[in-house]
Chains A and B, each alone.
Chain A
Amino acid sequence: MTTKQTVKSHREPLFHVAKRDDMAWWQAWLIRAVTIILSVVAVGVISMMLTEKSLFETFEIMYRGVFGRIETGSTVMLWKYLQEIAILLCLALALTPAFKMKFWNCGAEGQALMGGFAAMICMIELGGKVPDGALIAIIAVASMLTGALWGLVPAVFKAYFNTNETLFTLMMNYIATQIIAYYVYIKGGGSNIIQPVTHGNLPVIGTNRYLVNILIVAVLTVIMFVYLKYSKHGYEINVVGESQNTARYIGINVKKVIIRTMIISGAVCGIAGMLLVAGTDHTINTKTVGGQGFTAIMISWLGQFNPFIMVIMTAIVIFLRLGTAKVADTCLLNASFADIAVGIVILCVVGCEFFIRYTFKFRHKKKEETV
């Protein structure tokens, strides 16, 4: 009798959650698309409430912020949009092979910063001493090497001692930041600003200073897609990520793959750093990457490690960032509104995965049959 009392309070659950993996790809993408649209609308509604403008007006401002023209010049904002996409996408592309291998590289920030650092050193030390064409080649190699080095260190420890890579790569970011701070202080002569360097800048195609960055990343996107899907390396990355046991069974050298993949990941981050320093800013400071290394982690994951889907995700996130920044600017809100908006959308999309991977099962209560 006593046992009964303790259990009596339990009611039969109405439903329970079960795993599913039979959802068609289009259904999954429909859910994601709907979530993104709803969360963007939610962001619109929030900014509407803050600015007392109508929803339509809010989106109109957001649209202008991305596709409109800068008031004074003739530069179309669109280029700025594409440039920002290029940088964030480049970082996300860099992380993807590592993530596919289930190596949580949270160090894109530092790897890119170190790539930019190498570019900066080359530009300052070799600028004027070496023809610009050769200098750019040196910069490219140096950036990739330093980025790769920053990815290599945690990879070696992961491969040989199974050191937690999430935390290791995170720490590496701040070491990179302090190195940059040190360098900026020395070269900036106490002002903490390095004046833009004119040597070793990436070429300007036509009149557009962003075009070369965009083209480089476009090519990288295709290369990364092919690398992951059709190369033997990509296949090995996939096997190691799915099951290290299987990898060992078929004779893949797991340590080698981890280290090789992180060298690639770091090197591509280094390219992103180079695009930022040699291609865009022509100078460097601790905020050059500006936290995009972390946003890139989310992009790569939201894009399901598929470079082409990542392009779409990046476009959405940057649209939100620029659009809400414009809203904040126009309506005298704080600029950090953009961070909140991006945060909301990403949290929603992360949450919606649940409805793709799980399903609710309702209990059909059978009437007691008296046969």
Chain B
Amino acid sequence: MSKQPAIELRNITKTFGKVVANKNVNLTAYHGEILSILGENGSGKTTLMNMISGIYFPDEGSIHVNGEEAVITSPKDAFAYKIGMIHQHFKLVDVFSAAENIILGIDDGKYNLKKSTEEIRKISEQYGFELQPEKKIYTMSVSEKQTVEIIKVLYRGADILILDEPTAVLTPQETTKLFEILRRMRDDGKCIIIITHKLHEVLSLSDRVSVLRKGEYVGTVNTAETSESELTEMMVGKKIELNINRTDVNDPKDRLIVKNISCINRQGAVVLDDISFTAKGGEILGIAGIAGSGQRELLESIAGLQHLTEGEILYHNPKTDSIDNLRDKTPVQIRELGVRLSFVPEDRLGMGLVGNMDIVDNMMLRSYTKGKSIFLQRKAPKDLANKIIEDLEVVTPGASTPVRRLSGGNVQKVLVGREIAASPKVLMVAYPVRGLDINSSYLIYNLLNEQKEKGVCVIFVGEDLDVLVELCDRIMVIGSGRITGIVDGRTTTKEEIGLLMTKSKEETKESSDDN
């Protein structure tokens, strides 16, 4: 071994309550290389890196930096070892300027914001970043914030850089640019660790790949000697083919007609821009796009949770054959119109369910207003809870357990179970398999297909293009709040969708530049 190991993890174990996040993980990264840490959502990648950067402290095991055992109890220790982490959720103070955020926590003699600002300018010029150091964070776009985060680490002269899912919020162009910078740093002798679950990024960027599965270390391979299928196998355990059952659509009827809707968020940015589409009963309409392109706002608009500036949402009621406009109606008003709308939001415990309430009380969320009595009726929800626990094989000590204590997959089963139990005519699901294991994911796909066969109009917002392509009948692609294309799920390819996702950014950027 000629290369010096920059960082070495030995037998690291970390638990949160009863959940084992990492179990006996061993890992080595060298100077002058890019190491990818690959794993599904919830495989413990971020927890592991948080231990290197001092956010968490391992229950067992040791960390070695440059061959010496290192005790990293705080991020400050991590800096001392020249370890810098760029978190997926940016750690920035909103009311501070970029420069203030960058120098935060550094003690290098006299406090001189002007001088520091100059240095920051120099660094950003050196790498070709565009950054105004005086700009306040709360006025910044997502990619600007990421730039601040990266410069923050560079400013500290980090030798070991850890990036947690850095491309999740970037456009392909921005990603390419970032990768170039990372390669330049590697050639500089720095050790780059990048956490991801995107295979093509792993293959195009990294020198070696370490794989985690359910908190355990699976192995490390050289990128040059591996293939996508081998990595997938390491990641998921056994070789799986995404064999999602897709039945033919029979007799689709227009159920939801969305006409030219636009929406502005609290900060005054346009999040939905002139969106029009029709969703039909008996089909699954997929929605693809880079995270934060307006998917959430779109679903919330239909569910009556967003105020629209323009357009209308028409619901075709199959029972009465009447057409209702859902725009600017509250969820209660929508329900009173007889619209059978179910919605599985992205934020399960923050929106769909209440973590501190038990399963029975969570079942009531949708139905508690039923009846004239001022008191709650707990009998029916209790039966429903038990039925869902049985049918969907929810692992729980009982129906009176707070949902916060369930694992991610079981939480999702409770939520999806409840929404389907309302026998909807329109079912909207956002990232329903995020953080779920393979078995739970398939259970969810099957449930969606079942609903489709019953003639329900299913709207599926997904992030995994493979799943979208295999599950959905039609796929609508959005970017920056605009529709960039609607394609047939049976004939399209991942590449086509990927292209549509990226095309939009450019167009929107140009049009906004004109303004």
Contacts and interface: CB of A to CB of B under 8 A. Distances in A.
Report A-B touching, CB under 8 Å: yes
B429 to A, nearest CB: 14
Interface stretch (B98-106, B235-243, B343-351): B343-351
B351 A246 contact: yes
A231 B375 contact: yes
A253 to B, nearest CB: 7
Given A21-B405, A238-B357, A251 B347 contact: no
B361 interface: yes
Contacts of B59: 361, 363-364
A238 B368 CA distance: 13
Interface stretch (B42-50, B75-83, B197-205): B75-83
A242 B353 CA distance: 10
B374 A232 contact: yes
A251 B330 contact: yes
A7 B345 CA distance: 45
B271 to A, nearest CB: 17
A232 B368 contact: yes
B446 to A, nearest CB: 25
Interface string A8-30: 00111100101111100000000
B18 A22 contact: yes
Contacts of B355: 242-243
A181 B73 CA distance: 57
Given A13-B57, A232-B376, A249 B345 contact: yes
Contacts of B331: 248-251
B11 A366 contact: yes
A182 B17 CA distance: 57
Interface string A355-367: 0000001011010
B10 to A, nearest CB: 9
A13 B332 CA distance: 53
Interface residues of B, number: 46
B356 interface: yes
Contacts of A230: 375-376
A232 B354 contact: no
B332 A245 contact: no
A233 B404 CA distance: 23
Contacts of A238: 354, 357, 361
A250 B374 contact: no
A3 interface: yes
A233 B366 contact: no
A6 B80 contact: yes
Contacts, number: 96
Interface string A253-280: 1000000000000000000000000000
A231 B377 CA distance: 9
A365 to B, nearest CB: 8
B368 A249 contact: no
Contact of A364 (B57, B60, B365): B60
A232 B357 CA distance: 15
Nearest to B365: A250
Interface in A283-297: none
A366 B17 contact: no
Given A235-B368, A251-B304, A246 B350 contact: yes
B366 A250 contact: yes
Contacts of B399: none
A18 B16 CA distance: 8
A232 B369 contact: yes
Contact of A231 (B61, B70, B77, B374): B374
B424 interface: no
Interface in B363-389: 364-366, 368-369, 374-376
B495 interface: no
B81 A7 contact: yes
Contacts of B16: 18-19
A13 B56 CA distance: 12
B385 to A, nearest CB: 15
Interface in B1-40: 11, 16-18
B73 A253 contact: no
Given A232-B369, A233-B374, A7 B70 contact: yes
Contacts of B353: 246
A363 B73 CA distance: 13
Nearest to A251: B331
Nearest to B331: A251
Given A6-B80, A243-B350, A251-B335, 17 more contacts: A10-B73, A18-B16, A22-B18, A230-B376, A231-B374, A232-B369, A232-B375, A232-B376, A234-B376, A235-B364, A235-B368, A235-B376, A239-B354, A245-B347, A246-B353, A251-B330, A363-B59
9 contacts: A10-B73, A11-B71, A232-B369, A232-B376, A242-B354, A243-B354, A248-B331, A249-B303, A249-B343
10 closest cross-chain pairs (CB), A and B: A251-B331, A251-B332, A242-B354, A245-B351, A7-B80, A6-B80, A250-B365, A249-B351, A12-B71, A10-B71
